[in-house]
């Protein structure tokens, strides 16, 4: 594809709806020292659609408080600032992409199942490794392939062409994207994450989940998401766009410093958490 056509296509990424201002404010308020619950509530409350979804989400089995959280302040106290911030973020991003319908070539439900699966597995691995920001790890896993949804939403014909190439040449979706578009979902996803001003380590994990050894900022997060992406495919959770199960990259395993048996030890917890996480998806299919 010629450079000028590619540049025009990339400009269209800026046409996608941005995150609501409440979400930006919430994300950045949390970086302020001495932020109070009252200040956060008054910011989030400006968007009642987000509040009602947030309450449904925090009362789902995903968080384990089924039906017990009645207000925003209770959610903040019980879940903590970070979990609420990331719930607000996830809700808004899922909303931006909620209009994509299922068709013969693509089932958005299976895409989200892959995304949630990668988020859940990332969090389980992170917990085992005593990673300090588990909620960021979940969001990085949830959004790692968001560039694919941008392609589907903005360039549906190219996406069909990509799927055809993937099938015809038995290649991975990332190779198909580069062949058809001249750019792949990690580059597009990174651009989105920058536009949304997500935390640096999440931006980097989205950009580098296929080559975590190139990370400079937080290699452990990129490597965890990369490993979780492979595991999610190997465990047949959802669908990532091609049927190839990538081999677990030994470099990703080395970055994390884990033994081969480590993964087997995570499987039971992944199974358990995945059951609960399906409620996350159910909330967004209700609309």
Q: Which of residues 217-276 bind Fe ion (CB under 5 A)?
A: 229, 240
The CA distance from 228 to 249, in Å, is: 11
The CA distance from 192 to 202, in Å, is: 11
The CA distance from 24 to 222, in Å, is: 23
Beta carbon of residue 38, minimum distance to Fe ion (angstroms, whole number): 39
CB atoms within 10 A of CB 78: 15
- Report yes or no: 248 and 141 within 8 Å, Cβ to Cβ: no
Q: Applying CB under 5 A, which part among 1-9, 100-108, 142-150, 273-281 lies near Fe ion?
A: 142-150
- Report yes or no: 128 and 266 within 8 Å, Cβ to Cβ: yes
Residue with Cβ nearer Fe ion (79 or 93): 93
Beta carbon of residue 226, minimum distance to Fe ion (angstroms, whole number): 9
Beta carbon of residue 50, minimum distance to Fe ion (angstroms, whole number): 27
Residue with Cβ nearer Fe ion (58 or 174): 174
User: Which candidate, 181, 179, 211, 206, places its Cα nearest to that of 191?
Assistant: 206
The CA distance from 203 to 199, in Å, is: 6
Tell me how many residues contact Fe ion (CB under 5 A).
3
Residue with Cβ nearer Fe ion (50 or 232): 232
Is residue 212 within the footprint of Fe ion (CB under 5 A)?
no
Residue with Cβ nearer Fe ion (201 or 229): 229
Beta carbon of residue 240, minimum distance to Fe ion (angstroms, whole number): 4
Residue with Cβ nearer Fe ion (65 or 239): 239
Token pair recorded at residue 256: 């994390």
Is residue 145 within the footprint of Fe ion (CB under 5 A)?
yes
Which stretches of the chain bind Fe ion, using CB under 5 A? 145, 229, 240
């Amino acid at each position: 594809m010629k450079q000028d056509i590619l540049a025009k296509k990339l400009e269209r990424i800026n046409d996608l709806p941005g995150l609501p201002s409440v979400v930006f404010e919430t994300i950045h308020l949390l970086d302020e020292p001495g932020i109070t619950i009252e200040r956060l509530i008054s910011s989030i409350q400006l968007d009642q659609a987000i509040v009602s979804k947030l309450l449904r989400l925090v009362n789902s089995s995903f968080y384990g408080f089924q039906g017990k959280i009645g207000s925003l302040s209770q959610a903040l106290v019980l879940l903590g600032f970070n979990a609420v911030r990331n719930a607000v973020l996830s809700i808004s991003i899922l909303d931006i992409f909620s209009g994509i319908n299922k068709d013969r070539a693509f089932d958005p439900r299976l895409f989200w199942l892959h995304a949630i699966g990668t988020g859940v597995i990332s969090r389980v691995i992170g917990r085992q490794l005593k990673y300090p920001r588990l909620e960021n790890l979940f969001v990085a896993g949830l959004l790692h392939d968001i560039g694919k949804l941008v392609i589907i939403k903005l360039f549906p014909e190219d996406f069909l062409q990509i799927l055809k190439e993937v099938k015809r040449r038995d290649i991975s979706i990332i190779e198909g994207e580069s062949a058809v578009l001249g750019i792949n979902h990690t580059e597009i996803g990174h651009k989105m994450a920058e536009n949304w001003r997500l935390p640096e380590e999440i931006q980097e994990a989205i950009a580098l989940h296929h080559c975590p050894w190139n990370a400079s900022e937080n290699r452990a997060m990129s490597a965890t998401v990369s490993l979780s992406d492979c595991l999610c495919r190997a465990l047949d959770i959802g669908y990532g766009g091609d049927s190839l199960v990538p081999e677990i990259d030994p470099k990703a395993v080395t970055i994390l410093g884990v033994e081969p048996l480590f993964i087997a030890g995570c499987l039971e917890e992944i199974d358990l958490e995945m059951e609960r996480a399906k409620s996350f998806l159910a909330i967004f299919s209700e609309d």
